[in-house]
Structure 1
Amino acid sequence: MRLSIGQVHRNVLALASSRSCFVLGDRLSFRMLSQQRAAGFHQTAWRGSQIVEDRGGPLTLASLEVQNRVEYGKKEKMARTGGPKPSSRGSSLNVKPRVSSSLNMKPRVSSLNVKPAKSALPKSTGIKKTLKVDEALFSAKSFEELGLPPLLVDRLNKEGLTAPTEVQSAAIPIIAQKHDVVIQSYTGSGKTLAYLLPILSEIGPLKRPMEQDNSEKRSGIEAVIIAPSRELGMQIVREVEKILGPNDKRLVQQLVGGANRSRQEEALKKNKPIIVVGTPGRISEISAAGKLHTHGCRFLVLDEVDQLLSFNYREDMHRILEHVGKKPGTTSRDILGPLARRSERQTILVSATIPFSVIRAARSWGHDPVLIRAKSVLPLDSITVPRPALSQTDANSSSPSNSVNQAAVGSLPPSLEHYYCTAKVQHKVDTLRRCIHALEAQTVIAFMNNTKPLKDVVFKLEARGIKATELHGDLGKLARSTVLKKFKDGEFRVLVTNELSARGLDVPECDLVVNLDLPTDSTHYAHRAGRTGRLGRKGIVVTICEENEAFVVRKMRKQLAVAIKPCEFTEGELVVHKEEDEE
């Protein structure tokens, strides 16, 4: 007996439906659950629009990226992402396209007989802000020219801060215009004050006179600043306390991991701060416990945002982004909830390196975001964001559009000198000692990739008469603070550390950075190198590698577009060799 194609199709569907609960039930449900969880924070930066269209679920952080693509006229990119069309899959699976109305994609959902709703995109509602750039401010000689309130300017003058840096001159006026921004500048260029000063112009005791009249209408936390490490978080807190002064420093509260959580919660209740600075895990933890209320927050700052996009912070960052600046009266079931919540806050993303994942995230989390560099301000929608690499060949491509390392270009302080020399593993510490003496360096940070060898390097340096100490994540909070204080006070000449200190560690006196182990890529090289040459000072970066690793340094030299010169240290002097031909 022969069966028609239609009969075979119906029989297969009947058999699948009758046995799905026994054969596929657990596995299918687990797979669907995994897809739902993966579609949150971590996918915002890289996943294409087909995930949202296929799933037909409610708006998430991932779906916001699709909306921004439509907003900036990138519909042709969505068609190139591949995969089945949503109209065909939606009709066969009988899935209600709850996202389609907000995406305003009428032609693609007509077969589902869904009445398109009014678009919820910011652009279509006519709230897009006009970007006003006064290029004359790029060369501002004082903070008064940038429009900061007199009380804040007086406080800065007392701290010896009289002239803004280039990135501060560009960022302060744009943030004051209420734009969501991405700040990119090399390490040590003053990015922290670039976002702190305009925030303190709007909140706290140093704000503008016009804001004083509205102070009674607002209460609670008005700014949340997220940092990936305790050291960076505590450093930001010290900057805020220094500007606020001893009488008002209680208005900023640190919420970092490794400290006593109960004391932090008590301080929140007692001091009633207007600014909280912390790590993602601790802020998310206290928020989930109902002890941190950020619904009325006006500013959300993500410092070192490229680190905060990593998988480790996904769940904590998802909660923070969903709760900070939530519009009163909205619920999680409201289809406009994510857009409404972010409309109540100003989002500021900061990093020395801005990979494409950060650009995608900024478009998802902000309204018409602006990219700010030194003497440069431009809309983020003017930057082309390539699709993720689909193959190993694409991932290893050296073209700027596919290379993540391109994000590190321009992130190095301009006043640095770069060198590299070769040595056997057992001779690296002795080479470090000769390097320190030849360059007459007084404050040195030496980087390694692992924690275990740090103690051995410190022991060998001490045996050779050089005072050294180690810093790594296994040390307790108090021990790390003590080590940093002693190093900054000059009690130790060399700080031997790992990647923990590559970001956010501010030691202005550091005049030499040494890589005892090669950084994993050019981005990590840039962040390590940025520990010296801060705020216009001169600095030297030396990489000590094995002979068979020299090609890696030459590769990073090409990616970073800087001269990393081969050298050696003989008879107490630095001897620079002739440049080798690039491979």
Structure 2
Amino acid sequence: MRLTVGQVHRHVLALASSRSCFVLGDHLPFRMLSLPRAVRFHLTAWHDTQTVEDKNGLLTLASLEVQNKVEYGKKERATRTGGTKPSSRASALNMKPKVSSFNAKPVKSALLKSAVLKKTLKIDESLFSAKSFEELGLPPLLIDRLNKEGLTAPTEVQSAAIPIISQKHDAVIQSYTGSGKTLAYLLPILSEIGPLKRPTEQDSSDKRSGVEAVIVAPSRELGMQIVREVEKILGPNDKRLVQQLVGGANRSRQEEALKKNKPIIVVGTPGRISEISAAGKLHTHSCRFLVLDEVDQLLSFNYREDMHRILEHVGRKSGTSSRDILGPLARRSERQTILVSATIPFSVIRAARSWGHDPVLVRAMSVVPLDSITVPRPVLSRTDANSNSPSNSVNQAAVDSLPPSLEHYYCTSKAQHKVDTLRRCIHALEAQTVIAFMNNTKPLKDVVFKLEARGMKAAELHGDLGKLARSTVLKKFKDGEFRVLVTNELSARGLDVPECDLVINLDLPTDSTHYAHRAGRTGRLGRKGTVVTICEDTETFVVRKMRKQLAVPIKPCEFTEGKLLVHKEEDVE
């Protein structure tokens, strides 16, 4: 007997109203039934208890164990609370209910089978070392476009992810910053949709219309970068097939472009996608792919309502009811969900299990079912602290996100002399493309002014600039018109300048994770890069702390006579 959540809920209420009283405990799915949708979204991603879904993902009376006990993982707790004799309660609960008493409608066996069967995970480890995109089975037209763009060999994460996504598995892609994660999910998507896809027998008779892929990014900069990647692959004649929906731009123009160009791929920020969707101008019910890039940021409390709408509407057929007997599983199975980030905290793992269907974790040279990843319980006291504590997990995630070919240094300087130290650092390292990070927006203009006064071309980039101004600054920086880009935390994620050879922290990052994301702006796609942190004497202990957390050698240095001098320092941690 398989029942909907609503039917189980009604049955539970009926039993509770009688003298047969039992306790279901503080289990998430039951508490969530009465919660607002936005709260349900947030609890789904962060709650630590296991769901009451059985192996096939469906709610059944057997999975609820509503007899004499309720199962919590491997532990069992008695549900007797008094007031009712065991025999009467057992007899009431052991009754075999008829289908008619729950008003359950018959379900087509084919639909049920397609929803509950797990996909077979086929891993060809020989592809982890693929030397060309042909080996990964991409269609010829797509390979031709890649060759024209000078892309001939896949990165390690692309070799692992492309075959898995092509097998239609939901996936969580994790790899260090700058390793090619964007193409890792774009290429298998473009193999299935658009003018470069592989030909099929259904192409002539079954032509899809509307948006087929939605890609969500937490920042405008990352969204614009993804759009540029898609346009580059599609080519100038077909670039209209991707539409950018980011905040800070004219919404009415974006809506007009949607109507005129009829894009197959939409890339945008949660707020703008949700806004246009709610206005009825963006139809994503028939969407085949949902990608959440930098998903650890999208789990932020600020995005909860917008993300809830996106998750509810993308890939859900317009005729599908939320009270369908197959529930959320049926809606999830209608789309392929891909989560991407350089860091994968356990909140992302829990979210992937909830939003996807049998997701797999894809890393460079590694593909494993997400169910095999252990999610530790939160640390409740100092005595519980161990290597699996959340803080250690965050640090490990930051370590995993660092590009492997970086050199790390730090030097001390008084606050008023930091710009001079920055200039000497650039000259000593002969860096041509530099990104300098600060924590606040106001000082950016002053730093740019001082660098320009000393003959070094620079520009500022921050969130207060309009979309056109930011795009212009980034284009000029990539074209080499500016040597130094002075920015704030806005660009710590999503800014892709492969030529960047030096990252400088003019202000200390707030933690090791922010350090890792800043550092990831250089050393991209296997290139070498250097990270230099300029701090005051009183801040050196912070650098040493991050050095210990990240397990990378951040070496003390100074810049004199146009050279980098590295000092030896005893480990004082």
- TM-score scaled by length of structure 1: 0.82
Matched, 1:484 2:474: yes
Q: Is the 8 A contact 2:115 2:330 kept in 1?
A: no
**Shift in CA distance, 341/78, structure 1 to aligned 2, threshold 3 Å:** farther
The one of 374, 385, 391 aligned to 2:364 = 374
Counterpart-to-counterpart distance in 1, 2:35 and 2:185 = 36
- Equivalent residue number for residue 175 of structure 2: 185
- Partner SS state of residue 542, structure 1: strand
**Shift in CA distance, 110/511, structure 1 to aligned 2, threshold 3 Å:** farther
Q: Is the 8 A contact 2:176 2:402 kept in 1?
A: yes
The one of 165, 184, 194 aligned to 1:175 = 165
The one of 421, 426, 430 aligned to 1:431 = 421
The one of 374, 399, 402 aligned to 2:387 = 399
Counterpart-to-counterpart distance in 2, 1:438 and 1:359 = 43
Matched, 1:216 2:216: no
- Equivalent residue number for residue 273 of structure 2: 283
Q: Which amino acid aligns with 2:281?
A: K
| Higher deviation after alignment, 187-196 or 403-412 | 403-412
1:388 deviation in Å? 2.8
Deviations 1:9-67 (A, max 9, x none): xxxxxxxxxxxxxxxxxxxxxx99996356322222222349x99xxxxx9xxxx9999
| Higher deviation after alignment, 425-434 or 220-229 | 425-434
Counterpart-to-counterpart distance in 2, 1:32 and 1:162 = 49
1:182 deviation in Å? 0.6
1:394 deviation in Å? 7.7
**Shift in CA distance, 331/66, structure 1 to aligned 2, threshold 3 Å:** closer
Q: Which amino acid aligns with 1:295?
A: H
Q: Which amino acid aligns with 2:390?
A: N
Counterpart-to-counterpart distance in 1, 2:298 and 2:75 = 30
- Partner SS state of residue 541, structure 1: strand
Counterpart-to-counterpart distance in 2, 1:560 and 1:566 = 16
The one of 218, 221, 237 aligned to 1:228 = 218
- Equivalent residue number for residue 40 of structure 2: 40
Counterpart-to-counterpart distance in 2, 1:271 and 1:350 = 28
- Equivalent residue number for residue 160 of structure 1: 150
Matched, 1:249 2:232: no
The one of 310, 313, 317 aligned to 2:303 = 313
1:124 deviation in Å? 11
Counterpart-to-counterpart distance in 2, 1:49 and 1:469 = 49
1:204 deviation in Å? 0.7
**Shift in CA distance, 372/430, structure 1 to aligned 2, threshold 3 Å:** same
1:328 deviation in Å? 4.7
Counterpart-to-counterpart distance in 2, 1:415 and 1:122 = 49
- Partner SS state of residue 210, structure 1: coil
Counterpart-to-counterpart distance in 1, 2:312 and 2:437 = 37
Q: Is the 8 A contact 1:415 1:533 kept in 2?
A: yes
Counterpart-to-counterpart distance in 2, 1:406 and 1:489 = 35
Structure 1 residues without counterparts, runs of 5 or longer:
1-30, 54-58, 93-106
1:215 deviation in Å? 6.8
Counterpart-to-counterpart distance in 2, 1:388 and 1:45 = 14
- Equivalent residue number for residue 445 of structure 1: 435
1:566 deviation in Å? 1.3
Deviations 1:480-526 (A, max 9, x none): 11111111111111111011000110111111000111111111111
Q: Is the 8 A contact 2:221 2:495 kept in 1?
A: yes
Q: Is the 8 A contact 1:421 1:568 kept in 2?
A: yes
- Equivalent residue number for residue 4 of structure 2: none
Counterpart-to-counterpart distance in 2, 1:124 and 1:116 = 25
1:564 deviation in Å? 1.1
Q: Is the 8 A contact 1:280 1:317 kept in 2?
A: yes
- Partner SS state of residue 361, structure 1: helix
Q: Is the 8 A contact 2:378 2:389 kept in 1?
A: no
The one of 115, 132, 151 aligned to 2:141 = 151
Counterpart-to-counterpart distance in 2, 1:226 and 1:152 = 23
Counterpart-to-counterpart distance in 2, 1:65 and 1:464 = 67
Query: Sequence identity of aligned pairs in percent?
Result: 83
Counterpart-to-counterpart distance in 1, 2:93 and 2:180 = 54
The one of 194, 197, 201 aligned to 1:207 = 197
The one of 538, 555, 570 aligned to 1:548 = 538
- Partner SS state of residue 236, structure 1: helix
**Shift in CA distance, 115/501, structure 1 to aligned 2, threshold 3 Å:** farther
Q: Is the 8 A contact 1:448 1:497 kept in 2?
A: yes
Counterpart-to-counterpart distance in 2, 1:414 and 1:315 = 37
Counterpart-to-counterpart distance in 1, 2:561 and 2:444 = 27
Matched, 1:259 2:287: no
**Shift in CA distance, 349/78, structure 1 to aligned 2, threshold 3 Å:** farther
Counterpart-to-counterpart distance in 2, 1:214 and 1:145 = 28
Counterpart-to-counterpart distance in 2, 1:563 and 1:122 = 54
- Equivalent residue number for residue 23 of structure 2: none
Counterpart-to-counterpart distance in 1, 2:298 and 2:92 = 39
1:407 deviation in Å? 1.3
Q: Which amino acid aligns with 2:302?
A: N
The one of 334, 337, 352 aligned to 1:344 = 334
- TM-score scaled by length of structure 2: 0.83
| Higher deviation after alignment, 252-261 or 557-566 | 557-566
1:413 deviation in Å? 1.0
Counterpart-to-counterpart distance in 2, 1:86 and 1:302 = 41
**Shift in CA distance, 142/287, structure 1 to aligned 2, threshold 3 Å:** same
Counterpart-to-counterpart distance in 2, 1:147 and 1:549 = 51
Matched, 1:301 2:300: no
- Equivalent residue number for residue 14 of structure 1: none
Q: Is the 8 A contact 1:300 1:345 kept in 2?
A: yes
Counterpart-to-counterpart distance in 1, 2:303 and 2:526 = 33
Q: Which amino acid aligns with 1:42?
A: H
Matched, 1:518 2:501: no
Counterpart-to-counterpart distance in 2, 1:304 and 1:176 = 21
Q: Which amino acid aligns with 2:449?
A: F
Counterpart-to-counterpart distance in 1, 2:115 and 2:246 = 39
Q: Is the 8 A contact 2:360 2:368 kept in 1?
A: yes
Q: Is the 8 A contact 1:65 1:360 kept in 2?
A: no
Q: Is the 8 A contact 1:363 1:369 kept in 2?
A: yes
Counterpart-to-counterpart distance in 2, 1:65 and 1:310 = 29
**Shift in CA distance, 125/270, structure 1 to aligned 2, threshold 3 Å:** closer
Matched, 1:559 2:549: yes
Counterpart-to-counterpart distance in 1, 2:137 and 2:309 = 35
Q: Which amino acid aligns with 1:270?
A: K
1:329 deviation in Å? 2.6
Q: Is the 8 A contact 1:49 1:78 kept in 2?
A: no
1:122 deviation in Å? 9.2
Deviations 1:282-331 (A, max 9, x none): 00001001111101110000011111010111100000000001035321
Q: Is the 8 A contact 2:438 2:507 kept in 1?
A: yes
1:572 deviation in Å? 1.5
**Shift in CA distance, 33/296, structure 1 to aligned 2, threshold 3 Å:** closer
**Shift in CA distance, 457/213, structure 1 to aligned 2, threshold 3 Å:** same
Q: Which amino acid aligns with 1:547?
A: D
**How do residues 50-199 of structure 1 correspond to structure 2 at under 5 angstroms?**
76-77=72-73, 126-199=116-189
- Equivalent residue number for residue 408 of structure 1: 398
1:237 deviation in Å? 0.9
**Shift in CA distance, 418/32, structure 1 to aligned 2, threshold 3 Å:** closer
